[in-house]
């Protein structure tokens, strides 16, 4: 069990690596920030459609649950609705005081603060079931668990960037940006341990699978509602958003190709 916890924690810590990369001064400029947000959106959308939703559906089918398509679709729509609800409840001014002076680029970008915190919440929710998958794989088949941990770590890096970049761009403060990236990563081992003991005591396997579908809905809704519009607002060239989306999709394809 120690190795399973270690592998899950290392995969989760990759969000901090992404957070450190996001602290590069260039991330406070409109162009790189737009590309980075679009990159995260492309990654989340493709990962949800290509990997998470098919996994949820196939697992439900294999378990013999009636109406797996309806169950998966329902969980997906609940996830989309959860993001809309969180967005509606989150205050316009998340922190007191003014955003850091970023000249003509991003002065007073409270929308970036909202985006950054929403990203952290959704990625944390996304990392919890991922951590449980890695943990269970390490327990049952370590060779599969290692490959899964590597794949998750690869895409956790840009997820950490997606959390830290808007927060750093809006406030100019490294500490909170890294802290929120770390919070999103800590959800991975925490979700693994909580989920493991809960599954043993209470939960049917289908609940974990439906959680994955729910998180896929959250990721896609977040990308469409927050990331892509934000990327369009901060772009300085029309090619930045489609290039970022394509790059995010490519990273998902590459990570899957290397670990399969």
pLDDT at 100: 37
pLDDT higher at 220 or 28: 220
Of the candidates 37, 52, 28, 43, the one whose C-alpha atom is nearest the C-alpha of residue 208 is 52
pLDDT at 93: 43
74 pLDDT exceeds 60? yes
d(CA 232, CA 239): 10
Summarised one tens digit per residue, pLDDT across range 119-143 is 777 778 767 777 777 787 677 667 6
pLDDT higher at 15 or 1: 15
Sign of CA dihedral 243, 245, 246, 248: positive
Summarised one tens digit per residue, pLDDT across range 44-72 is 888 889 887 888 888 888 877 788 899 89
pLDDT at 27: 55
Radius of gyration of the chain (CA): 18
First to last CA, the chain: 24
Lowest-confidence range among 80-89, 96-105, 126-135? 96-105
97 pLDDT exceeds 50? no
CB atoms within 10 A of CB 124: 22
Q: Phi then psi for 65, rounded to 5 degrees?
A: -70, 135
d(CA 16, CA 21): 9
Segment 168-183 mean pLDDT: 83
Lowest-confidence range among 33-37, 49-53, 157-161, 256-260? 256-260
d(CA 134, CA 137): 5
């Amino acid at each position: 069990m120690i190795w399973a916890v270690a592998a899950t924690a290392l995969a989760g810590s990759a969000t901090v690596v992404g957070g450190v990369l996001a602290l590069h001064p260039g991330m406070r400029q409109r162009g790189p920030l737009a590309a980075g947000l679009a990159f995260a959106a492309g990654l989340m959308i493709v990962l949800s459609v290509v990997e998470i939703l098919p996994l949820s559906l196939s697992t439900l089918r294999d378990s013999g649950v009636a109406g797996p398509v309806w169950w998966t679709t329902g969980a997906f729509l609940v996830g989309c609705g959860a993001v809309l609800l969180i967005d509606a409840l989150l205050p316009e001014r998340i922190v007191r005081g003014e955003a850091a002076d970023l000249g003509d680029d991003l002065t007073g970008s409270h929308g970036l603060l909202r985006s950054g915190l929403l990203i952290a919440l959704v990625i944390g929710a996304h990392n919890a079931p991922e951590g449980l998958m890695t943990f269970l794989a390490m327990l049952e088949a370590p060779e599969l668990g290692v490959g899964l941990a590597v794949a998750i770590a690869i895409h956790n890096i840009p997820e950490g960037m997606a959390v830290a970049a808007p927060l750093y761009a809006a406030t100019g403060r490294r500490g909170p940006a890294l802290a929120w990236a770390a919070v999103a990563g800590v959800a991975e081992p925490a979700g693994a341990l909580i989920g493991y003991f809960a599954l043993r005591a209470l939960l049917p396997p289908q609940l974990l699978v439906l959680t994955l579908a729910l998180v896929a809905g959250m990721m896609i809704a977040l990308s469409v509602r927050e990331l892509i519009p934000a990327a369009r607002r901060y772009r300085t060239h029309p090619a930045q958003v489609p290039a970022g989306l394509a790059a995010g999709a490519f990273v998902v394809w590459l990570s899957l190709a290397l670990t399969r």
